[in-house]
Copies of this chain bind each other. A is one copy, B any other.
């Protein structure tokens, strides 16, 4: 640990931070990157990037294609599948999500909070053309998504304050970006148990979302359906979603999310 004895003028990223920066260079708009793009986006010198990329390829965390471009490798899917908040939640919810997908012919999403945002742990896209582009692993702001509004409505006050700190991102003319107005909406969601929002991310769509409870009765996820506003019947969607959510919650209660691994003692 000699480097801890060296006092740098500028804070120097740790070795771990450099590896994570290489992975963090990839994003929805940057799925395939050249080595020099990785170096630039990660803020690393080319030799350092080269060395780290080589190690990550060996580990199968990155893959190199025939054009010499790198993309995220399947080792990361294998790892992600170990997350209790992803696969076990998804497996409990899938049959109900699948039914909702078929019944509503809309996009169906299951979202959980990660930091100040929502991540979709499942997303089934409507089969129609031009369906909203929601994807598993997608990260979205809470104020603009149905699942996010439900999770935010049931979050602690200081989290709400952080999330609602202006400016809130605007996606369409309908996106609610006034924190006071969002808070009014959150109160209404707590009162009714359902979030309904129009055109927050795509102008012509409507989302209905409901909470999913863990065995302790806490809101652990949110389930939503997105359909075109024109054909949306929010009350019916709310009813279907509430039934589905109760079934998922009941199933979570039967098969705790930490299964099949037995609980271990702390330490």
Cα-based distance from A135 to B83 in the complex (angstroms) = 12
Known interface pairs A87-B136, A127-B95, A138-B81; A67-B266 also in contact (CB < 8 Å): yes
The 8 Å CB contact of A85, one of B61, B63, B79, B127, is B63
- Residue A9 CB within 8 A of the other chain: no
A266 and B87 within 8 A (CB): no
Count the copies.
2
Q: Which residues of B contact A94 (CB under 8 A)?
A: 124-125
Known contacts A14-B55, A32-B258, A84-B32; A72/B79 CB under 8 A: yes
A76 contacts across to B, CB distance below 8 A: 76, 79-80, 83
Within 8 A of B (CB), among A39-67: 48, 51-52, 55-56, 59-61, 63, 67
Among B69, B73, B83, contact of A71 (Cβ-Cβ < 8 Å):
B83
A74 to B204, CA, bound (A): 30
Kindly state whether residue A29 has any CB partner on chain B within 8 Å. yes
Query: Quick check: B84 and A71 within 8 Å, CB to CB?
Result: yes
Residue A7 at the B interface, CB < 8 A?
Answer: no
A164 at the binding interface (Cβ < 8 Å): no
Report if A85-B74 is in contact (Cβ < 8 Å); known contacts: A19-B20, A68-B266: yes
Q: Which of these binds chain B: A111-119, A173-181, A227-235?
A: A111-119
Q: How many residues of A contact B (CB 8 A)?
A: 73
Residues of B within 8 A of A127 (CB): 95
Rounded to whole angstroms, the CA-CA distance of A150 and B91 in the bound complex is: 26
A16–B267 CA distance with the chains assembled, in angstroms = 26
A34: nearest chain-B partner, CB-CB: B267
Contact A266 B85 (CB under 8 A): no
Give the Cβ gap from A108 to chain B, nearest Cβ, in Å: 12
Distance of A179 from chain B, by nearest CB (Å) = 25
In the complex, the answer to whether A26 meets B80 with C-beta atoms within 8 Å is no
CB of B60 within 8 A of CB of A115, answer yes
Q: How far is the CB of A162 from chain B (nearest CB, A)?
A: 15
Given contacts A68-B267, A261-B31, whether A73 and B77 have CB atoms under 8 Å apart is: no
Q: Roughly how many angstroms separate A30 CA and B18 CA in the complex, as a whole number?
A: 26
A196 within 8 A of B: no
Chain B residues within 8 Å of A34, by CB? 264, 266-267
Q: Are B74 and A112 in contact (CB under 8 A)?
A: yes
Contact status A69-B266, CB under 8 Å: yes
